[in-house]
Amino acid sequence: MSPRLSIRAVFYKDDKILLCKHHDDRGFWYITPGGGVEHGETLEDAFHREIKEEVGLQAEMGKVLCIRDLISDRQPTPYLPEHFHQVEIFVEGINPVFAYDAHNMDPAQIGYEWVKLDDLPKLLFFPSSLVDIFQYKKFSDIYLGHKL
């Protein structure tokens, strides 16, 4: 089974980050907007489609901030399918404009919100092992390896 390729958008405004808000049996949890790249779709096409679907945004795709592997067999969790392997490319989102209604949110997604960076460690945020990197914008290493 091949790894799934995912593009994730990172938007900062003042002292906040834009996150998709989800709810399930764990309570509320948060991730950056984004998702899987479809066959024949460029990373930039997927970036634009995903932010439009999940948060109703129109924006420019900026530079790559970091890349991580997510491999469920290395750290099993009941929330990821067995043998799941996803390569996530986190990119900077530039000049966001809320131009659409979010119209194709993920199943557990209940909305989105601008979250204060100081509050990030208090939330159930994924990838949890990268909270410091996102909170303090410390994207010094492009490839971060396998991180949950």
Condensed to tens digits (0 to 9), the pLDDT of residues 112-129 reads: 999 999 999 999 999 999
Share of the chain residues as helix, strand and coil, in percent rounded to the nearest 5:
20, 45, 35
Spans of all domains in the chain: 4-146
Tokens of 71: 């491999």
pLDDT tens digits for range 55-102 = 999 999 999 999 999 998 888 778 888 899 999 999 999 999 999 988
CATH topology of domain 4-146: Nucleoside Triphosphate Pyrophosphohydrolase (3.90.79)
